Amino acid sequence: MQNGAYIADMQHSISSVPFMKMHGLGNDFVVIDSRGGERVDATLAIAMADRHRGVGFDQLAEITAGTGDLHLTFWNSDGSQSAACGNATRCIAAWEMSRRGTKALTITTDRGTLSARDAGNGLTSVNMGVPLLDWKEVPLARAMDTLSLPIDGLPTATGMGNPHCSFFVDDVMAVDLAIRGAEIEHHPLFPERTNVQFAQLIGPNHVRMRVWERGAGITLASGSSSCAVAVAAARRGLTGRVVRIDLDGGTLDIDWRDDGVWMTGPTAHPYDGVWHG
């Protein structure tokens, strides 16, 4: 069966599903509110992810009822799941707080319970949790110092509910992100694959970063990746714990506090639609 026919076949097996399209700094998402409705599966995620025959997204986020105000499940464009997606969490938090008329929210994810708040001036903050720095928690394939991995470029590994591999380079634009990102995502040190960042210090507590996301490829921004880079930069003594991250799609502010890594930035909700499978 040709790929197009395969996608079309999957689409015909799925009923109509309302969705929202959101993005944080161009890192774009399909959001499906499944509270009382049809649940998402890998078939639906893959079909909707196709930017030519579907809707297109970097991640799909599904809202369900949880022990907090809501629960989020994240799907990559290849149909795999992720425990964390920072920009999608911020976008959904902003929408839900506006809907409820509140300034704070508690969100449960497979990463754990996250706190969100309205930061004013169109910005939303989410606490992405305490970073995981032990090799077993990232996870890595064997015991080693996560500050400096035995990979060319000596990157740092960080767990933010999903694994991250952060390289610090002199010029992020000189890196062939498509080639290097794909190589490192599947490196044998990362049994669950990894998100990959290339970061460049451009000023005091100011970093320029580009990202390759596990299961999605090159994206304009990534919230969990920004948190991981800020943590890695602070651990390596390159910055303090409050860091501004410039990504291809815009800027996020990261604050690594005792209670976790807080991420603040803008959100957008361009349109709503209905998927007819």
Q: Which two tokens stand for residue 130?
A: 């305490």
Helical H runs in 38-110?
A: 42-49, 86-100
Residue 146 in contact with residue 140, Cβ under 8 Å? yes
Amino acid at 243: V
Q: Taking a C-beta distance cutoff of 8 angstroms, is the pair 168, 208 a contact?
A: no
- As a whole number of angstroms, the distance between CA 117 and CA 123 comes to 9
Alpha-carbon torsion angle 83, 104, 31, 17, nearest 10: 120
Tokens of 100: 């409820």
Residue 277 pLDDT > 90, yes or no? Answer: no
User: Do residues 250 and 55 touch, judged by C-beta distance below 8 A?
Assistant: no
Is it the case that residue 83 has pLDDT exceeding 90? Answer: no
pLDDT at 1: 36
Position 14 scores a pLDDT of 52
Q: Is the pLDDT of residue 38 over 80?
A: no
User: Helix (H, G, I), strand (E, B), or coil: what is residue 24?
Assistant: strand
- Segment 46-72 shows an average pLDDT of 94
pLDDT in tens, 148-205: 999 999 999 999 999 999 999 999 999 999 999 999 999 999 999 999 999 999 999 9
What is the average per-residue pLDDT within 2-25?
65
Residue ranges of domains in the chain, CATH in brackets: 3-128+265-275 (3.10.310.10), 156-258 (3.10.310.10)
Q: pTM, whole model, 2 decimals?
A: 0.89
Could you read off the pLDDT of 191-204 as tens digits, one per residue? Answer: 999 999 999 999 99
pLDDT number for residue 11: 43
Q: With bands split at pLDDT 50, 70 and 90, how would you rate the model's confidence at 128? A: very high
Positive or negative, the CA dihedral 65, 105, 33, 8 is: negative
Q: Is the pLDDT of residue 37 over 70?
A: yes
Q: Quick one: average pLDDT of 58-83? A: 92
Closest among 247, 207, 242 to 23, alpha carbons compared: 247
